[in-house]
Structure 1
Amino acid sequence: MKKSLLALAALGAFAGAAQAQSSVTLYGVVDANIEYVSNMSSVTPSAANGFATGPSENLFRMSSGGLSGSRWGLRGVEDLGSGLKALFVMESGFGLDDGRSQQGGRLFGRQAYVGLESAQVGRVTFGRQYTSLFDMMANFSPTGYATQYEPVVAQLGLNFRSDNTAKYTGKFGPVTAVAHWSFGNGVAGGGEVAGQFRRDTGYGAGVSWSAGPFGISGAYDQYNPTLNAAGGTGEFKKAAVAASYAFGPAKLMAGYRWGMSKHVNDNTILKDNYYWVGANYQVTPALGLTLAYYYDDVKNFNPAAATVNTTNNIKNPWQISFVADYNLSKRTDVYLTTAFSKNAGLNFDTSAISFANGYFLGTGEDKMIGAAIGIRHKF
């Protein structure tokens, strides 16, 4: 009997040790607010109507994702020994206002990957992931890639989440290096088509350095989207640099992104220089303020690049954003977020840049105001 009890105790201890070597975590964010938007088009622009807009109207609505996109996810790690770990992430985005899946209705549209991580060499992951440009600019975003009022798509491109991606991340003291290759991103086309290796591919790399109050980063991104029925690919290139400096309760940051998008026939679709500058200030342990300015210097815009090579002059869009965030606890905060845009809808939503965010200026309007009061809970 004693031997049986000892054997059971030993087995239980071994099982406990094995369990301690692996873990799965459920996590998420729920974020909703009441929003006001001025000069909103009463008609939704689309390819079917030639991206036409209608008379402007004021809009009051409930929105999901003010400071953070609402999501839930599973994160797992298994210690394989000798400094090697297996890991996975599956993250699903949803609209808190209506409960629908985001990212085109994907179950795990935000992230879905598996990989290995070595303490000495770095991490290699495979699946739907963020691009190198996204990662390298994240710590230099004044509002932390806030869902509601930051022109993330204009800055990083529609492909900032990429399907079928192999990615390397290495951290070596104050230096972080990232590189990725996408075998076929489904943003514009099907991707991964037999005999068309280049179709919808993408790649990029970046490096950042952070020590003490200083931080600096640089990255390059290229996406080759399908732009015609024959599977012809364009060439969308972006390169960015950014820096930050923290002192006391304040942090200043600024960045620059060069962009060049070309059609299948090598005609330029869009060439621009995008700038941003911002500051975070922690007034009290509970209250944080953020102020940010974004400007896009559009050098060349040609929506008819599929057939002609011309240049259209447009007024350069700019935006000012302000956020006041008050923490009620470590997990729950309430916030006020506002923005004013000129020569485009909020987040630079205009046919010259993209219609990715849903802020469509009414016909004849050139400015828009947005303001929202919301609550966010992290779990």
Structure 2
Amino acid sequence: MKKTLMVAALTGVFATAAHAQSSVTLYGLIDAGVTYANNSGGHSLWKASSGTVNGSRWGLRGSEDLGGGLKAIFTLESGFNIDNGTASQSSRMFGRQAFVGLASNQYGAVTLGRQYDSVVDYLAPLSNTGTQYGGTIAAHPYDNDNLNNSVRFNNTIKYSSVNYAGFKFGGTYSFSNSAQFANNRAYSFGASYNWAGLNVAAGYLQLNNSLSGTPFANGNTNTAVTGAGAQTGEWTFLAGRQRTFGGGVNYTFGPATAGIVYTQTNLGGGVGGGISSTQSGRTGGIGFNGASARFQNFEGNVRYALTPALSLAGAYTYTRANLGGGVNPNYNTVALQSDYALSKRTDVYLQGDWQHISSNSANIGAYLNGLGSASSTQDQVAVTVGMRHRF
């Protein structure tokens, strides 16, 4: 009888230990508010907004300890619109992220699925738009460098290194899943270094797509590979190839952090296309006047914690664009934010964004991301009052 009780007790102990080796966490973030814009398609606009700073999402992440410093990991993350409950990212169930892989304490992690590129992983955290201090409306024009992760990548294998005394690096490759191997694929790599208050990062991203002589970067829902390619269903520019690269540095001293970020996006293989209508807010989008286009973004940002609960942040971005044919609009974008934490999980914020276009803009109206329509003039202003809750 005593032996039976001992065996039962030991079995319970081992079962508990085995259970402790694996875990699953439910998490999420809800961002909701009210936005006013002075000019959206020629009219003032009041609207309920979802994800003005951070996209609303919920997800599951988990791990299982396999022993020897190795574990299995996964993440399933779904984006949604809090205003109407619909799914984001082209109505995907897990449109933000969906991957599984192995992580080693010594060698890093390899994951497979729908994932972020290396520019988002390494460089975006140094930018105002890639953090909780700016977000969607503060993105560089049309999110041309993807720092606000407008595009996520299907069929992706990713490597992420461990932290080597502050240095980290990684890369991605996104398969076309097509017999035309190079069509609708993408790849990226990046690195960052952190020492004391200093942060330095750089990244590179390339997207390729050229099907039946009609090239489109960032996917094309009208091609034979719909639903299969690396970027299908999400795109910003009509071009055969997109190359984005950049670097940044910031430094934290006491309660303040200041930084600069530079990115450049080069578009090639154009066939008279341009910025998509969903991005430009105009039917047919903004056309390129040649086979190529370029965007250069120069951002300076700063944030300051007045108290443990109250923070201020701001950024100025100068974007120099060349759309071909002598059309060279310059974008001046300012984002300001104040945020007050009601608790560790809940905060309220006030954010203002302004954009002005100058220099041979060819009647291109200002366009702050996420407002739905471009301005009918060279200026656009948006003010948002909102709250975020994390769980």
TM-score of the two chains, using structure 1 as the length reference: 0.85
**Counterpart pick for 1:242 among 236, 241, 248:** 248
CA contact (8 A) 1:87 1:116 kept: yes
Identity %: 36
Please give the secondary structure, in 2, of the residue aligned with 1:32: strand
Q: Which residue of 1 aligns with 2:207?
A: 223
Quick one: distance in 1 between partners of 2:122 and 2:337? Answer: 23
Quick one: distance in 2 between partners of 1:150 and 1:356? Answer: 7
CA contact (8 A) 2:349 2:385 kept: yes
**Counterpart pick for 2:170 among 135, 158, 178:** 178
Check 1:57–1:250 CA distance in 2 against 1; reply closer, same or farther (3 A cut).
same
Q: Which residue of 1 aligns with 2:100?
A: 114
Q: Which residue of 1 aligns with 2:283?
A: none
Q: Gaps spanning 5+ residues in structure 1: where? A: 42-55, 185-191, 303-310, 345-349
Q: Which residue of 2 aligns with 1:255?
A: 261
**Structure 2 counterpart of 1:372, which letter?**
T
**Counterpart pick for 1:285 among 287, 303, 308:** 308
Post-superposition offset of 1:278: 0.4
Quick one: distance in 1 between partners of 2:184 and 2:368? Answer: 20
Quick one: distance in 2 between partners of 1:142 and 1:361? Answer: 22
Q: How many pairs does the alignment contain?
A: 341
Q: Which residue of 1 aligns with 2:282?
A: none
Quick one: distance in 2 between partners of 1:370 and 1:354? Answer: 10
1:2-38 Cα offsets, whole Å, 9 max, x none, are 2222121111100100011110000000110011011
Q: Which residue of 2 aligns with 1:86?
A: 72
Quick one: distance in 1 between partners of 2:323 and 2:326? Answer: 5
Q: 1:1-379 counterparts in 2 under 5 A?
A: 1-41=1-41, 56-143=42-129, 144=131, 146-151=134-139, 153-156=143-146, 160-170=151-161, 171-184=163-176, 192-194=177-179, 196-226=180-210, 229-230=212-213, 232=215, 234-263=240-269, 268-298=291-321, 300-302=322-324, 311-343=325-357, 357-363=370-376, 365-379=377-391
Check 1:333–1:200 CA distance in 2 against 1; reply closer, same or farther (3 A cut).
same
1:216-271 Cα offsets, whole Å, 9 max, x none, are 11111100134x55564611111101000111100001111122110167964311
Quick one: distance in 2 between partners of 1:136 and 1:168? Answer: 13
CA contact (8 A) 2:157 2:172 kept: yes
Quick one: distance in 2 between partners of 1:35 and 1:9? Answer: 60
Check 1:277–1:135 CA distance in 2 against 1; reply closer, same or farther (3 A cut).
same
1:142-162 Cα offsets, whole Å, 9 max, x none, are 251644322152222777411
**Structure 1 counterpart of 2:159, which letter?**
Y
CA contact (8 A) 1:111 1:129 kept: yes
**Structure 2 counterpart of 1:329, which letter?**
S
Task: Quote the RMSD (CA, aligned, Å).
Answer: 2.3
Quick one: distance in 1 between partners of 2:29 and 2:85? Answer: 13
1:167-188 Cα offsets, whole Å, 9 max, x none, are 101021210101110103xxxx
Please give the secondary structure, in 2, of the residue aligned with 1:16: helix
Post-superposition offset of 1:361: 2.3
Quick one: distance in 1 between partners of 2:69 and 2:44? Answer: 57
TM-score of the two chains, using structure 2 as the length reference: 0.82
**Structure 1 counterpart of 2:203, which letter?**
A
Greater mean alpha carbon deviation, residues 320-329 or residues 62-71: 62-71
